[in-house]
Amino acid sequence: MEIPVLKDILSANDQIAIENHELLESKKVYGINIMSTPGAGKTSLLLQTIRGLKNTIKTGVIEGDVSSNIDAKKIAREKIPVLQVNTGGECHLDANMVSRAIKKFPLDKIELLFIENVGNLICTAEFKLGLHKNLVISSTAEGDDKPLKYPLMFTVADVIIINKIDLLPYVSFNSKAYRDAVKSLNSKVEIFEVSCTTGQGIEKWLAWLQKQVKKHNKSARNKE
Amino acid sequence: MHELSITQEMVKIVVEQAEKSNISKITKINLVVGELTGYAGESIQFYFDFISKETLAEGAELVFRKIKGTLKCLNCEESFELPEFNYICPYCHSDRVNLSGGNELFVESIEGE
């Protein structure tokens, strides 16, 4: 006897992601899920962003890592709320881990929440977390072919940051080829080029981000 | 490693379905896995052998139907297999495409007695 099931294996995850989204909305918090390969600059970008927004937007960070808390310690020095989530070997954050974390997090004290996912371009793309935007960071040293190798990640991205542009003279990264591949798959995505080392391009990224948070704050107020 | 959590979820889904359908032993689980999800059948099987122990799914055969990465052209609406070097439609040469296949991950059906 064959019985049709047709049930998505990630449907339980997706349901929890919806609940996460509702919790963030009820607390008027705008959430960004940061994904990249290990070493592309997730933590460096976070540090630049936190410092850049210090006097304008109240920010918090949830750090996802397989086992260490090195990144959380770096963020904690910035004197903002931070929580470490260890996945215990899993190579991605899932909605359930995020659900437990945001229930513990002082959401009342922030307007913007970053969740730094585990460094991985494959399964992190599949597990919805329920945040507002997916941010993908690529670094020039990785080469320009990542959008061709990991199309799913570049399809779910809402905003992309190309980091380490200070290395462009030394590495083989064709910015046009990269952008063409990304834009083919995902014409709506915003792309910024930055160097977290020199600070180049960070201002443009911060201006865009501030605009998003303001827009969200306004629509949250209108709902009241 | 990411196969562990999805295998747990898969076993939960098939056991729930078997209970609803009055099946006392699941003999086969038909799964659909998109190529771009990166899930390795071997690894799912490895976890399945542990996780399914003493459940209605113990000993069931896992059958994987793989779906290739597919793009759909937004201009001429033709579908084609994911090219290796660019995302250009081979029919009309448009560079506006959508990912239309390869990200599936679901239980298609179960068989049992």
Answer yes or no: do A2 and B106 touch at CB < 8 A: no
How many alpha carbons lie under 13 Å from residue A219 in its C-beta half-sphere? Answer: 8
Question: Residue B86: pLDDT above 60?
Answer: yes
What is the mean predicted confidence (pLDDT) over A5-32?
A: 96
Chain centroid, CA A164 distance in Å = 17
Tokens, residue A184: 């083919």
What pLDDT score was predicted for residue A223?
80
Percentage of chain A exceeding pLDDT 90: 91
Smallest CA-to-CA distance from B92 within B61, B71, B64, B62 is with B71
Contacts of residue A201, defined as CB under 8 A and 6 or more positions apart, other chains included, come to A165, A192, A193, A194, A195
- CA A172 vs CA A23, A41, B52: distances in Å: 43, 18, 48
- Nearest C-alpha in A relative to B12: A9
Cα gap B91→B77, rounded to integer Å: 10
- Tens digit of pLDDT for each residue in B5-57? 899 999 999 999 999 999 999 999 999 999 999 888 999 999 999 999 999 99
Cβ contact A90–B2 (<8 Å): yes
CB-CB contact of A44 with A162 (8 Å): no
Check B109 against A5: CB less than 8 A apart: yes
Q: CA A18, A20, A26 angle in degrees (round to 5)?
A: 105
Is it the case that residue A9 has pLDDT exceeding 70? yes
Flag whether pLDDT at B1 surpasses 70.
Answer: no
Confidence band (pLDDT; 50, 70, 90) for B84? confident
Supply angle C-alpha A43, A200, A30, rounded to 5: 50
Q: Does A12 touch chain B (CB under 8 A)?
A: yes
pLDDT tens track for A92-119: 999 999 999 999 999 999 999 999 999 9
Task: Say yes or no to pLDDT of A61 above 90.
Answer: yes
Q: How many CB pairs under 8 A join A and B?
A: 102
Place of tokens 């260490």: A68
Cβ contact, residue pair B110, A122, below 8 Å = no
The kind and range of the H/E element at A25 are helix A11-26
Mean pLDDT of A14-28: 97
pTM as predicted: 0.93
Distance between CA atoms of A135 and A158, rounded to whole angstroms?
6
pLDDT of residue A224: 74
Picking from B97, B102, B109, the nearest residue to A3 by CB comes out as: B109
Query: Both ends of chain A: CA-CA distance in Å?
Result: 53
Residue A152 has pLDDT above 70, yes or no: yes
Q: Which of A3, A9, A10 to mutate to test the interface with B (most CBs of B within 10 A)?
A: A9
A9 touches chain B (CB under 8 A): yes
- Kindly report the three-state secondary structure assignment for every residue of B14-26: HHHHHHHCCCCCE
User: How far apart (Å, rounded) are the C-alpha atoms in residues A185 and B65?
Assistant: 25
